[in-house]
Chains A and B, each alone.
Chain A
């Protein structure tokens, strides 16, 4: 078990304490090593809040998160960046590449921040570039390449540290359908190479590449589907059906 989330609760209080908004009420689930999890849910279901807590960018009101047996909640502010750098990789909807770095430097950024030697960086860089097929553009700058290429760069940046967990927030959100397809295949491939992936998404298509799909509603895990032996198409259908039932208010019990 690489990730264990127990009874997570998050309440946002407005600045003057007037309003309380419950983003997560009670979230419990766990992820095994090598899994590819997709978390689905409508806007406001608490997806982003959950992801921020998993990324240690936000703290839960109550509940616990264990990454590889280590409690995330108690980590001090000082250790947290190093922890994030060493254990987590991030891919975002809007890529979040830095315009003032070349593609190569964007990818190397986490290694540089970790204080690795230049030789070590070069040895880590090669396989990642090959895996993502972006060897040709490494001297370019983010504003000179396409959206698909940007997202590949972002993935390269996320996996170059060999993180225990790769977190992806709507990674296909800003891409056209062709780029989406090839990117999802890429995620599959990375996952098959042993990388644990947790992806938050709206898109049924994106979720249909996962090995397990969790459905979030009103701040709690409402339902989940295992891929089992299904093909992508079958899984797509199952997700679609589930969402329909969710939308029409049917009651499921996981």
Chain B
């Protein structure tokens, strides 16, 4: 055969199969485009100059890997779909006298065509849209003008290499499939009826077991650290469970229905049960894919949106006041001197101090034994995380100055405050020392900066610092010999953030250069500065969530589209036969419609069920990130689910039109 023929045939094939090819090309182009844009953003020179650049960089880099892995799986999947649909055509070529090597040659040329189209347009649109994405990222990060718009040669290079390798692998796979198949099988293509599998009970049982375990883990988890530890395991279990139940569980269930003769041999049930068995056999894996992708989209979008919107909540949790000065280990005199200096600096700068608070404290992680009402130093935090308390000890004077209370404590008396539950009301021990609870406090008058809220929190107000050092001494070497307390000053100034930042740097310079304080270690922060880091991290995550969400949604759309097409071709004949045997057009249409609806909305419903079960776990992990606003997360999740459902339905009805066009 003349070489020119091959090129012509290959081009003709792509044109003839446009209905299948175009969505595949569009998906590949978009995937390549997004991959390029991600690299462009992650390696943008502007990033290095930005505040919080490392967190954004990490997040964006993660995005590159996710898209990369996704691209491999997804392109292989769609390609296999394409190949399956075209088996008949290939078989025909084979029977008309083309050898397999000729077919392979046509296939190669076809793949080269699509490769060229994908690569050129992918990178072209990548460069085109990278600017838009850059603007979006800057907007989300509320970053300045540090970013540069350029054509990322590195991006083009990596994208080119990566997708060339994928395309080559796909081509090899196609050629392998052609060589393995027999022409008669190719001709029959999808028409060979699937054998009833012997028994799917074992897989179905595995599915129930794994899914059940995953769900159980998710709803019984009761603290943030174990949520983090178990999340990944739970996710994997649920993914396995989803695949098992979609492939085997559905069929086992339907077969049980079929075995019930009284139920099965009713007009409605008869066609729908057997129709569903057939559909689930053909589509189970695809549907499970849709389900998992949908779940990912929902989790990612709801949590990143929530983090982004809830940034201020996080910021407030972590930094109760606009400006904070923490002196680690100082004695009483030093603390007094520091606070005087600070006040003086602020006043000299002409600002007014608001919401001023100051206190000295000592903090320990202690394990609380409920039965014996005893706090003990703990050796293993992660093991006994449920019993662990972050115990802050304050002299009562901090409480008195904050609240104006006139409480008087004896040596053994304490006041207790805890935002978490604590089973303590009368007497308790700290190791060997006896204490008596004089009262539970509703509001301690100040919030202390904490690194995280994954442990329960308790404030214990004692008579004076002498008591605190007694407590410290009996712990021995365990918490070191720094018996000095930490000192915290926190206050707001009603000024804009620029001025706050300036004030903080004055404070920082003065305190750190004063001779008197050269033995002290300061931690000085302002929310104005911290905000940048937060925007960088959560904005980066939000951006990634949107970006990957869009990618996954596209994948979902494509899978739904392909499913509708293949369903359509298969249903056409059944539709016709049903009418001949005495079902009216309306009845047939109704039956098919209800089956198709079930098939396509099953993944969405399962995804929503997954989300509901995962909710508690995700809430706890968000707590670890200092986001404690559960109602915000509820709103974000519900909103995401609603928007996604609307979108899903829209995609469904659009593709359903293609389906009905084929069937009728």
The interface of chain A, by Cβ under 8 A from chain B, is: 55, 57, 77-78, 80-82, 84-86, 90, 92, 96-101, 105, 108-110, 112-115, 118, 121, 141-144, 157
Contact = CB atoms under 8 A, between A and B. Distances in A.
A206 B587 CA distance: 35
B274 A157 contact: no
B129 interface: no
A118 B262 contact: yes
A141 B581 CA distance: 18
Contacts of A113: 267, 270, 581-583
Contacts of B277: 100
Contacts of A141: 193, 196
9 contacts: A55-B580, A77-B584, A81-B582, A81-B587, A82-B582, A82-B584, A105-B274, A114-B267, A118-B265
Nearest to A95: B577
| CB-CB nearest 3 A-B residue pairs | A85-B582, A143-B193, A81-B584
A116 to B, nearest CB: 8
B254 to A, nearest CB: 11
B577 A96 contact: yes
Contacts of A110: 581-582
Interface in B173-202: 192-193, 195-196
A81 B583 contact: yes
Contacts of B261: 118
B623 to A, nearest CB: 50
B265 A112 contact: yes
Interface residues of B, number: 26
A108 B583 contact: no
Contacts of A55: 580
Contacts of B580: 55, 57, 90, 92, 96
A90 B196 CA distance: 28
A115 B267 contact: yes
Nearest to A158: B581
Nearest to A86: B582
B584 A101 contact: no
A110 to B, nearest CB: 5
Contact of B278 (A99, A121, A143): A99
B275 A78 contact: no
Contact of A90 (B270, B278, B581): B581
B58 interface: no
Chain B interface main SS type: helix
Contacts of A109: 270, 581
A105 to B, nearest CB: 7
A99 B582 CA distance: 17
A172 to B, nearest CB: 19
A85 B581 contact: yes
A101 B270 CA distance: 9
B193 A99 contact: yes
Most buried by A among B265, B270, B274, B587: B265
A157 B582 CA distance: 11
Nearest to B193: A143
Given A113-B582, A115-B266, 10 more contacts: A77-B585, A81-B585, A85-B581, A86-B582, A96-B576, A96-B577, A98-B574, A98-B577, A112-B266, A143-B193
Nearest to A139: B196
Interface string B574-618: 101111111111010000000000000000000000000000000
A110 B270 CA distance: 11
Contacts of B576: 96
Contacts of B577: 96-98
Contact of B265 (A84, A108, A143, A144): A108
A97 B581 CA distance: 10
Contacts of A118: 261-262, 265
B267 A101 contact: no
Contacts of B581: 85, 90, 109-110, 113, 157
B585 to A, nearest CB: 8
A115 B267 CA distance: 6
A144 to B, nearest CB: 8
A121 B580 CA distance: 20
Interface string B262-305: 10011100100011011000000000000000000000000000
B178 to A, nearest CB: 24
B119 to A, nearest CB: 41
Contact of B579 (A81, A108, A142, A157): A81
Most buried by B among A78, A96, A100, A118: A100
Contact of B274 (A96, A97, A100): A100
A72 B581 CA distance: 17
A144 B275 CA distance: 19
Contacts of A96: 576-577, 580
Contacts of A99: 193, 278
B174 to A, nearest CB: 27
Contacts of B196: 141
Nearest to A80: B584
A80 B587 CA distance: 12
B579 A112 contact: no
B208 to A, nearest CB: 25
Contacts of A101: 274
Contacts of B584: 77-78, 80-82
A40 B377 CA distance: 101
A88 to B, nearest CB: 8
A157 B579 CA distance: 14
B278 A100 contact: yes
A96 B193 CA distance: 14
B265 A121 contact: yes
A84 B262 contact: no
Most buried by B among A55, A99, A142: A99
Nearest to A79: B584
A149 B388 CA distance: 74
Interface in B498-512: none
Most buried by B among A90, A96, A121: A96
Contacts of A85: 581-582
Contacts of A98: 274, 574, 577-578
Contacts of A81: 579, 582-585, 587
B409 to A, nearest CB: 80
A121 B579 CA distance: 20
Nearest to B578: A98
A100 to B, nearest CB: 4
A127 to B, nearest CB: 18
B271 to A, nearest CB: 8
A101 B267 CA distance: 14
A31 B74 CA distance: 62
Contacts of A157: 581
Contacts of A144: 193, 195
Contacts of A100: 274-275, 277-278, 574
B592 to A, nearest CB: 13
B277 to A, nearest CB: 6
A157 B578 CA distance: 12
Nearest to A161: B582
B589 to A, nearest CB: 12
A84 B582 contact: yes
Nearest to A92: B580
